[in-house]
Chain A
Amino acid sequence: MKLEKAYDYFSAYYEGTLDAALRDQMDRLFAANQRLRHDFDSFAASLDDLELSKAREIEIPADLHEQIVARLDRSIYESSRNQPQGVMAFWRKYALGGLAAVVIIGGGFAVANRGTADQASAGFTAIPSATPAGLQVVGEEGGTFLRFSPTANDSVKVMRLPDAKLMQSYDVSANTKLDVPLKNAAAEPVTLLISTAEGKEMVVVIPGTQKQAAGSGQGSLLDFAKAMSATYLLPVTLDSSKRDSMLRWDLNDSSLTQPATIPEGVTVELKDKLIRIRF
């Protein structure tokens, strides 16, 4: 066997899968050539070292699932936009007669350069500095606001669920801020999927004008969020990738955050005039 050919058999020799005749030839070559022996030893040592990686713990990002689902949702949404007939079919499938809530978004839309003069006097609302680039829905005395302040150019789309109708979209330049009120003049609450081109995404339910009596119900997690919003006339944000999970609930008037029956695994939080549901 030529010396160069011997290197082709290193793996099989290391794994012990060479037939006896070839193994003997290799052994003879190793005995006659110190360099080859040395190369094989370092080859075996490098594989042993590689195996050490197996034991290394790799930390999984806490929001990995959300990142994957957000990317998938965006891809599905974008392909549905590129197929108009598909969108119509989707709409027909999900449209619910008599429940077509109307959302008014706009009015207070403002984009301002960072670091400009007194924003409050200009009619803008300050964004909490802890999350400067975050997509936020905030409940305040004046209503519910969508805020976004990216560090790179981005865009925000607001879609109604479940029919995926695009209600509004905004291009937001780097280091500017978006600050728009979310209003619903219809009787029923409306569910919105708010997403950015960079993959951030959130679901929010904006209450309508009509209060719903507290009581029990069943349906998807989205239905539960809608029931909460209609019962307490408050906006609800939904922090979950399992929006289609089926649940049962029983809401009461006395305590918002402690319904008579809370679906298992669901947490409900009331903060700053906004209900946050996590599942």
Chain B
Amino acid sequence: MSSAQDDLVLIERTKQGDRAAFDDLIYKYERRAYQYAYRLTSNSEEASDVVSDAFVRVYNALQNFKGQSAFTTWLFRIITNCYLDARKKERSRPTVSLDNAMQSSEGDFERQVEDEGPGPSEELEKSERERLVQAALFKIPEYQRAMLVMYHVENLSYDEIAEALDLPIGTVKSRLNRARLSLREQLTKDKELFTLG
């Protein structure tokens, strides 16, 4: 039996009141769900919250799941929504962000990126590039970040992203192109700041 068929069996059993079947579904996908959520939030606690909320939403909406799309793409959609909702809630709270500007007695200044110096090896350089790209990823709009992570890190196809976000495939392609351009622009800005600093 394929993994997708296996999911449908577990879903049917859950719909009939078999809670252990839903536990099995959680066991099967919790790692992947957490990895995706962590890549969106970069925070362990927030990622656990997003994943927990997502599984509660999945459980509550399972009666409406007709199996027209794969369970995994549906799960990605719900995790993305939980993440966007959490960020929205977070934005409505008055907070001081350390990521943008910090106050000093001499006025505002940009937060300095810690300079570890030029890496003596390729490994260091690779890790520095990855760190910069992660930092840039957190400065572009959340929706764009989700699309980039889905495609480039979680290996979802255009079709799967279209299903997960309930968008036509042409829209997915054009929005993903815009997300990539935003990332490039942000990385360029960060690198310039880094070089000048």
Residue of A50, A52, A75, A76 with most partner-chain B CB within 10 A: A50
Find chain B residues with CB under 8 A from A8 CB: 174, 177
B130 pairs with A49, CB closer than 8 A: yes
Whether B184 sits at the interface, judged by CB under 8 Å, is yes
B176 pairs with A68, CB closer than 8 A: no
A-B contact list, 18 entries, CB within 8 Å: A8-B177, A42-B187, A42-B188, A46-B133, A46-B183, A47-B180, A49-B187, A50-B137, A58-B35, A60-B30, A60-B34, A61-B44, A65-B30, A69-B26, A71-B52, A72-B56, A72-B59, A242-B20
B34 pairs with A50, CB closer than 8 A: no
Contact A52 to B187, CB < 8 A, known contacts A46-B133, A64-B30, A64-B34: no
Closest 4 CB pairs of A and B: A71-B52, A11-B177, A49-B133, A52-B130
Contacts A11-B180, A51-B152, A58-B34 given; 11 further ones with Cβ under 8 A? Answer: A46-B133, A49-B130, A52-B129, A52-B133, A56-B130, A61-B44, A67-B52, A68-B52, A241-B23, A242-B20, A242-B23
Residue of A58, A65, A70, A241 with most partner-chain B CB within 10 A: A58
When chains A and B are docked, how far (Å) is the Cα of A7 from the Cα of B185?
12
When chains A and B are docked, how far (Å) is the Cα of A244 from the Cα of B24?
12
Contact A53 to B35, CB < 8 A, known contacts A68-B26, A68-B30, A75-B56: no
A46 pairs with B184, CB closer than 8 A: yes
Cβ of B168 to closest chain A Cβ, rounded Å: 16
B31 pairs with A47, CB closer than 8 A: no
Closest to A76 in B: B59
Whether B181 sits at the interface, judged by CB under 8 Å, is yes
Whether A279 sits at the interface, judged by CB under 8 Å, is no
Closest to A220 in B: B20
Measuring CB to CB, which residues of chain B are less than 8 angstroms from any residue of chain A? Answer: 19-20, 22-23, 26-27, 30-31, 34-35, 38-39, 44, 48, 51-53, 55-56, 59-60, 126, 129-130, 132-134, 136-137, 148, 152-153, 155, 173-174, 176-177, 180-181, 183-184, 187-188
Whether A54 sits at the interface, judged by CB under 8 Å, is yes
Find chain A residues with CB under 8 A from B129 CB: 49, 52
Whether A91 sits at the interface, judged by CB under 8 Å, is no
When chains A and B are docked, how far (Å) is the Cα of A11 from the Cα of B126?
23
Find chain A residues with CB under 8 A from B152 CB: 47, 50-51, 53-54
- The size of the chain A interface, using a CB distance under 8 A, is 36
B180 pairs with A10, CB closer than 8 A: yes
Cβ of A275 to closest chain B Cβ, rounded Å: 24
Whether A39 sits at the interface, judged by CB under 8 Å, is yes
Whether A43 sits at the interface, judged by CB under 8 Å, is yes
Whether A245 sits at the interface, judged by CB under 8 Å, is yes
Cβ of A100 to closest chain B Cβ, rounded Å: 24
Contact A71 to B30, CB < 8 A, known contacts A43-B181, A46-B180: no
Contact A71 to B39, CB < 8 A, known contacts A47-B152, A64-B34: no
A69 pairs with B184, CB closer than 8 A: no
Contact A11 to B176, CB < 8 A, known contacts A64-B30, A72-B55, A75-B60: yes
A53 pairs with B130, CB closer than 8 A: yes
When chains A and B are docked, how far (Å) is the Cα of A177 from the Cα of B28?
38
A50 pairs with B177, CB closer than 8 A: no
When chains A and B are docked, how far (Å) is the Cα of A43 from the Cα of B177?
10
A53 pairs with B39, CB closer than 8 A: yes
Cβ of B173 to closest chain A Cβ, rounded Å: 7
When chains A and B are docked, how far (Å) is the Cα of A4 from the Cα of B148?
22
Enumerate A68-94 residues with CB–CB distance to B below 8 Å.
68-72, 75-76, 79
B53 pairs with A71, CB closer than 8 A: yes
When chains A and B are docked, how far (Å) is the Cα of A245 from the Cα of B21?
11
Find chain A residues with CB under 8 A from B177 CB: 8, 10-12
A43 pairs with B34, CB closer than 8 A: no
A244 pairs with B184, CB closer than 8 A: no
Closest to A52 in B: B130
B60 pairs with A64, CB closer than 8 A: no
Find chain B residues with CB under 8 A from A12 CB: 173, 177
Find chain B residues with CB under 8 A from A47 CB: 152, 180, 183
A65 pairs with B19, CB closer than 8 A: no
When chains A and B are docked, how far (Å) is the Cα of A259 from the Cα of B46?
42
When chains A and B are docked, how far (Å) is the Cα of A64 from the Cα of B31?
9
When chains A and B are docked, how far (Å) is the Cα of A7 from the Cα of B181?
8
Cβ of A42 to closest chain B Cβ, rounded Å: 6
Cβ of A59 to closest chain B Cβ, rounded Å: 8
